[in-house]
Structure 1
Amino acid sequence: MAMSRKGKTWAAASVVAIFVIYNVGFSSVFFRHYAQGGKKINGKKISRPNGSLLTEIPAPTPLPIDLSTPMPSRRTERPTAKPSTSATILPTDDPNGAVVNRNKDRIDESPTLVLHIGPHKTGTSTIQCDLSHFRGELYADASVAYIGRVYGHCINPSVASGPVFDTRGLINTCFKSSLCTNTSLWRNLEAQLHHYANHNKSVIISDEAFSRMGIIVGDSVDNRIVLYRLLNKYYPGRVRVVVMYRRYYEWMQSMWNEGNKPHKNFYDPVSPYKEKFQKWPSEGGKTCKTFLEYITRKHKKVARDKLKWSEYQKLAEIDNIHVAEYLRRLWKNHSSNVVMLNMHEMEHKNDGEDITTLLLRENLSLVAGDVLRMAKANASYVGRPNPSKNFDYDRLAVKAHERGLLVNQSATLRFEIAQIAEKYLLQKLNKTKDSLPFVCLNQTHLESLLQKSLQYEREIYPDLSEEATKHHEEAFFKAFERKKFCNFDTDKLIEDNAVQNFFTKDIPQLLDIR
């Protein structure tokens, strides 16, 4: 029997998955399919970003910086002016917009200075720990000096690696004053640049805090100009500013987790919580916010003139551009060589290449990448992971404390209650985590988050292939399926008698047998 046209159309449609959203007071079915023109959530079509947003805009010719002329004065204390709005098409050898090795045909191996400015939550901790640990090998075998942010526990004590320069001190103290050039920190930086330039060494400086540099209030001093002048003095025409791109939805989720997780970013069994989370909220401690609360707060409108330069994330939101693109445009005002790298094309694929190795290959030399790759292969080195943490058990412990269920545990620390809950609660309830009630982003939030993420990527990489866009969408829905945009509904959980019994009866016993 011949199939009707309608039947053929239905058979050709690709219905990929059905997910259940556990939201406040209700659940809904999240349909995803690939069909021409868009997707559907709860039967409602989600269109891809409007094609008009993807129009290529010719890049303006960058103006050279004359280091002999006085620095221009900016008579504003607030970032009322937007960065340049001209979108530069990034250099690439790949028509699909993938990150490629721009050094593969490079003949000129003149020393280069790379200023890696982040932004935050784009693999910066991993990169800085790698460069801290292998500073000695890179200097000796690749003529690359690392003077960026250094993590003490990442340094390899068995390899001589030279003096350590405190970039964070420079940013947090020196650059908060217009007299920075008169400080010992500044003189130390200049002395190191002078030494490495005279010895024909390339330099890499990495610190995401460079993203929040701005104008000194009251002095109208733009620290980006001040810093760029110094770097360009010793590496004239060979300063490369590197910005890392991460998909918007991933970046937002990571920023939320970093700002709300109570755990420190390093192992500390005695006191694993950050100081501001160690006390209960009723005693002055901080409360962890859900992702829904974070997103809802992000949607609140804030006037540009009410923000500081350091709040670059909010400034990018006001301008409706990706934060990496905001920073690229900002630094494009000072440097004609600003490069954006795609973090997703640099992830570890178990082939010996990783984000730090590829960062070196892209911006310094093939030799630098080879040296780091070989050093890593020959070392028992674990790096500095800074993973997201599940802090829902802390939120539940806080809720139990608020309800007076821990009155007999006044001497027990907050992190201890949360750790015990995470270890034993599901076992005592005889449930899986997925069977608990969750509060998640609603349909409107999900649509907005996905569309903005796709839009920003298309604006940065206008030649991106349909396959790359599909991978972006698939990654988003996989994150949704894993409840990356959800948190425990602690209001509902705390009403469960079994949960209340766990905090009032089980926890005292578990504390005794630890």
Structure 2
Amino acid sequence: MTSSSSSASRATGDGSRRRRRGLGSNAYIRIIAIGLGFYSVMTLFIGSSFISVQLVVDSPDTSYQTLFLPKTKTSNQDQFTPPPSTQTIHNQTKEEPIVVLHAGPHKTGTTSLQDFIYKSPATSSHNNKHTSNTTFLQQDQIQIPTYDELPGPYHEYTSFNFAHCMISKYKRGGGDLNQDMCNRIRGVFPKFLEKAYNNSQNVLLVAEDMDRATIDHTRIRFYLKPYKRVRVVAVYRRLRDWLPSYYNQIVKMYTRVYSSGEEEYPSLVDWLHDHYEEFVQVHAVEVAERFKKSGLFESVELLNLHEEGAGLLEKFFCDYVPNANNTCRAIQTGNMTLQSNVGGYHDYDRLVIAASLQNRTRREIRKPVEISRAARKIVKALEDKGIASSYIPKKCLSTDLWERMLQTEQIHERTYFPEWYERQGGDKGLRQSLEEVTGTKFCTLDVEKILQTGMMDPILKNI
């Protein structure tokens, strides 16, 4: 099978132009739980675009173990309890409806999809105002479960409640919910699915926590009855972009912990050396391979975020959600509401925190907003003094880890996007493009050396 082209028209939203590629790797993926509450911060990639690969399997008609894993109490009930069975009367003269399950992973634009679904204001289409995104979804007979149908701790993005209830052993498996909490959905969610199925409506679930290694695929299929068709979608982002973005999310969550001195603020370079293998296990390719290996889903598909052309929302709704004609057209014409969630760069935050803890700054700096403000002041002071970045001590990724990352990207793209990969220059092009960004992405401030030499003390004393 071959990768799909992205040049054809997407207005129909039927996904007919996609070609399919099989996926056969047996991937073992360890869980990575990113904790301290219910956080989910995603970067918007509206400006990015991509192609897709479909990983087809036959589907039966029936059915941070690391430093970031929060400690939780064990639920008294660890065994999965099936939801009540439902009675279905789907109109057999209509097309068999489908569940589209967007499985993330984290840092691949999932929040932009969630915001599109859940945060669209119900504004009027008159006077150049946008129509609610929900209107287009309803016109296309696409059902999105609300909090009433998927109750739990996540009120805003309710699909997270579903994702955490699909984690094997619940909290013991790294999830945020125990079985007692998940039992709340056992009565209402099956009724929601039964009604949608009987009305021949498609269902959309979007939750990046489906990337967890301990997701129970059998439980997913059981909970999605009576639907016989389930399509899983994961978004591919190159490691060189995905890993720094993931790192930035984590350190942002832990800013107060670092600024209090409870834990040392790791640089991206140090973090990658310590946790590279763990995070690769929840990359899009690994997530897709895990779903495919279960053999329980009609198809498992990879979207290439880097391909030129359509943006994420357009690609997803026009090519992967069947019969989403109105939603697709609204996205293409700009007649819908978009929200942005842009990530940041935190290397100078690390310098501010280290300097403050050593009393190198004019005053104690602890709050995240104060840290960010001080970091911007340092950058501006360096620019005003004409001090180039090349003169500031840095630590870079080891050659060994750099090569491993490159080789992994090569394997991913040769396997799943071969035509696109060759258009980018193949192995030579991929190596050259990584070399071009290494100095900015994979070389971080050597904070220890900066503070030891005192080279920035005059600047630090004024923030």
Q: TM-score, normalised by structure 1?
A: 0.59
CA displacement 1:329-378 (0-9 Å, x = unmatched) = 3344142423222223556x4xxx3212211222223x525534425745
In the alignment, what sits opposite 1:28? none
For the pair 1:296 / 2:263, whether they are aligned, the reply is no
Task: Report the CA distance shift for 1:213/1:228 in structure 2 as closer, same or farther (over 3 A).
Answer: farther
1:436 is displaced (CA, Å) by 2.2
- 1:409 aligned partner, one-letter code: R
Task: Report the CA distance shift for 1:500/1:456 in structure 2 as closer, same or farther (over 3 A).
Answer: same
In the alignment, what sits opposite 1:402? 357
1:56 is displaced (CA, Å) by 8.4
Question: Whole-Å Cα distance in 1 between the matches of residues 365 and 350 of structure 2?
Answer: 19
1:454 pairs, out of 386, 410, 415, with: 410
Question: Whole-Å Cα distance in 2 between the matches of residues 392 and 501 of structure 1?
Answer: 19
For the pair 1:64 / 2:60, whether they are aligned, the reply is yes
Question: Whole-Å Cα distance in 2 between the matches of residues 291 and 411 of structure 1?
Answer: 22
CA displacement 1:98-117 (0-9 Å, x = unmatched) = xxxxxxxxxx8543210111
In the alignment, what sits opposite 2:8? none
1:228 pairs, out of 209, 221, 235, with: 221
1:168 is displaced (CA, Å) by 1.9
1:123 is displaced (CA, Å) by 1.6
In the alignment, what sits opposite 1:130? 116
Question: Whole-Å Cα distance in 2 between the matches of residues 174 and 341 of structure 1?
Answer: 21
2:434 pairs, out of 476, 483, 488, with: 476
In the alignment, what sits opposite 2:75? none
- For the residue of structure 2 that corresponds to 1:278, the secondary structure is helix
RMSD, aligned CA: 3.9
**What are the within-5 Å matches in structure 2 for residues 409-424 of structure 1?**
409-410=363-364, 413=367, 415-423=369-377, 424=380
In the alignment, what sits opposite 1:206? 206
Question: Whole-Å Cα distance in 1 between the matches of residues 237 and 147 of structure 2?
Answer: 21
For the pair 1:443 / 2:434, whether they are aligned, the reply is no
**What are the within-5 Å matches in structure 2 for residues 21-60 of structure 1?**
none
Question: Whole-Å Cα distance in 1 between the matches of residues 400 and 270 of structure 2?
Answer: 14
Asked if 2 retains the 8 angstrom alpha-carbon contact of 1:493 and 1:499, the reply is: yes
In the alignment, what sits opposite 1:44? none
1:344 pairs, out of 305, 308, 312, with: 305
**Highest relative contact order (Cα 8 Å, sep 6+), 1 or 2?**
2
Task: Report the CA distance shift for 1:469/1:248 in structure 2 as closer, same or farther (over 3 A).
Answer: farther
Task: Report the CA distance shift for 1:410/1:435 in structure 2 as closer, same or farther (over 3 A).
Answer: closer
Question: Whole-Å Cα distance in 2 between the matches of residues 395 and 492 of structure 1?
Answer: 13
CA displacement 1:128-149 (0-9 Å, x = unmatched) = 2122225412333211123389
Question: Whole-Å Cα distance in 2 between the matches of residues 112 and 428 of structure 1?
Answer: 58
1:277 is displaced (CA, Å) by 1.5
Task: Report the CA distance shift for 1:289/1:279 in structure 2 as closer, same or farther (over 3 A).
Answer: closer
CA displacement 1:74-121 (0-9 Å, x = unmatched) = xxx9xxxxxxxxxxxxxxxxxxxxxxxxxxxxxx85432101111112
Question: Whole-Å Cα distance in 1 between the matches of residues 114 and 316 of structure 2?
Answer: 11
For the pair 1:490 / 2:447, whether they are aligned, the reply is yes
For the pair 1:118 / 2:104, whether they are aligned, the reply is yes
In the alignment, what sits opposite 1:188? 188
Structure 2 unaligned spans of 5+ = 1-21, 26-54, 64-77, 79-93, 121-131, 149-154, 172-177
1:401 is displaced (CA, Å) by 1.9
Structure 1 unaligned spans of 5+ = 1-53, 68-76, 78-107, 151-162, 216-222, 263-273, 301-310, 317-321, 508-514
Question: Whole-Å Cα distance in 1 between the matches of residues 286 and 197 of structure 2?
Answer: 30
- For the residue of structure 2 that corresponds to 1:125, the secondary structure is helix
Asked if 1 retains the 8 angstrom alpha-carbon contact of 2:259 and 2:353, the reply is: yes
Identical positions, percent? 20
Question: Whole-Å Cα distance in 2 between the matches of residues 364 and 229 of structure 1?
Answer: 21
Question: Whole-Å Cα distance in 2 between the matches of residues 467 and 174 of structure 1?
Answer: 39
- 2:389 aligned partner, one-letter code: K
In the alignment, what sits opposite 2:230? 239
CA displacement 1:1-32 (0-9 Å, x = unmatched) = xxxxxxxxxxxxxxxxxxxxxxxxxxxxxxxx
1:282 is displaced (CA, Å) by 4.5
Question: Whole-Å Cα distance in 2 between the matches of residues 485 and 117 of structure 1?
Answer: 28
Question: Whole-Å Cα distance in 2 between the matches of residues 299 and 207 of structure 1?
Answer: 23
For the pair 1:391 / 2:352, whether they are aligned, the reply is no
- 1:362 aligned partner, one-letter code: D
Task: Report the CA distance shift for 1:149/1:453 in structure 2 as closer, same or farther (over 3 A).
Answer: farther
* Greater gyration radius: 1
- 2:360 aligned partner, one-letter code: L
Asked if 2 retains the 8 angstrom alpha-carbon contact of 1:118 and 1:124, the reply is: yes
Task: Report the CA distance shift for 1:472/1:344 in structure 2 as closer, same or farther (over 3 A).
Answer: farther
**What are the within-5 Å matches in structure 2 for residues 295-334 of structure 1?**
295-298=272-275, 313=279, 315=281, 323-334=284-295
Asked if 1 retains the 8 angstrom alpha-carbon contact of 2:235 and 2:305, the reply is: no
Question: Whole-Å Cα distance in 2 between the matches of residues 323 and 502 of structure 1?
Answer: 42
1:207 is displaced (CA, Å) by 0.3
- For the residue of structure 1 that corresponds to 2:413, the secondary structure is helix
Asked if 1 retains the 8 angstrom alpha-carbon contact of 2:381 and 2:459, the reply is: yes
For the pair 1:258 / 2:249, whether they are aligned, the reply is yes
